[in-house]
Amino acid sequence: MYTVLAILAHPDDMEIACGGTLLKCKGRGDRVVSCYLCSGNMGHVVVMPDELRRIRAGEAKKSGDMGGFEVIWGGFDDLDLYETKEARDRVVDIVRRVNPDFIITHAPNDYMSDHTATSKLVFDAAFSATCPHYETEVEGTAKMVPIFYAETSNGIDFNPTEYVDVTPFMEKKLEMARCHASQVQWLLDHDGVDFIEQVCISSKYRGYQCGATYAEGFTQCRTDMRLSTKRYLP
């Protein structure tokens, strides 16, 4: 089937934004690669960054293993991702290595800089990766492919045009979200948010919009050479 590459900012963003969709992709036989660009090392009140980087790599691996996904880290730390050539080239290398059939990333209007930078870098890198004379560490090119934007944090100013029914995968999606134990604590301390409840309610809400019990919503990046007559989302 397809190779799907999710490039998101932090280790737990995949479960929140598109965990059910990726599980459904895996279920139909896709190769699923989940990449987080930033280590998540700032996401705690008590645990210090170096230790948290290690903890969160373990949490991401545990969750990814549960879904049968390949999990990779882009090599950046939190609040240290900018739209530089160096950062773009690193994303180009990821895209070239995986050579996906479609990409999922953050919406360009998401809530903080790691997310918005990820979105822009993916948009730029997905094009650059197709150019044979654009030199980076990884040789060879990737295909020009569709990009889907996952919903913004809490869906603010985000109107999905694509829905994926994730009802049969909801339990596993929540189980995977629970692997990010450090974030269950952080979101409670920093934002007063129940992480698991939030993931559950946003999928329930998107489900109401499309007649499913639970769903995830996306928009498609609408530029030349990125549209297709095929349905890539499961």
Comparison of 9 and 121: residue with beta carbon closer to Zn ion = 9
Contact between 151 and Zn ion per CB under 5 A? no
| CB within 8 Å of 41: residues ≥ 6 apart | 49, 50, 52, 53, 56, 77, 78
Residue window 5-44: x/- pattern of binding to Zn ion, with contact defined by CB under 5 A:
----xx--x-------------------------------
Comparison of 14 and 142: residue with beta carbon closer to Zn ion = 14
How many residues bind Zn ion (CB under 5 A)? The answer is 3
What residues are paired with 35 via a beta bridge?
A: 7, 72
Contact between residue 229 and residue 171 where contact means Cβ atoms under 8 Å apart: no
Instruction: Measure CA of the first residue to CA of the last residue in the chain; give whole Å.
Output: 11
Considering only 3-11, 65-73, 84-92, 126-134, which stretch makes contact with Zn ion by CB under 5 A? 3-11
Comparison of 13 and 30: residue with beta carbon closer to Zn ion = 13
Rounded to the nearest 10 degrees, the angle between the axes of helix 181-191 and helix 195-210 is: 90
* Residue tagged 């985000």 (tokens): 158
- Closest-by-Cβ residue to Zn ion is 10
What is the smallest separation between the CB atom of 187 and Zn ion, expressed in angstroms? Answer: 11
DSSP 8-state code for residue 226 = S
Considering only 1-9, 50-58, 85-93, 220-228, which stretch makes contact with Zn ion by CB under 5 A? 1-9
Binding site for Zn ion (CB under 5 A): 9-10, 13
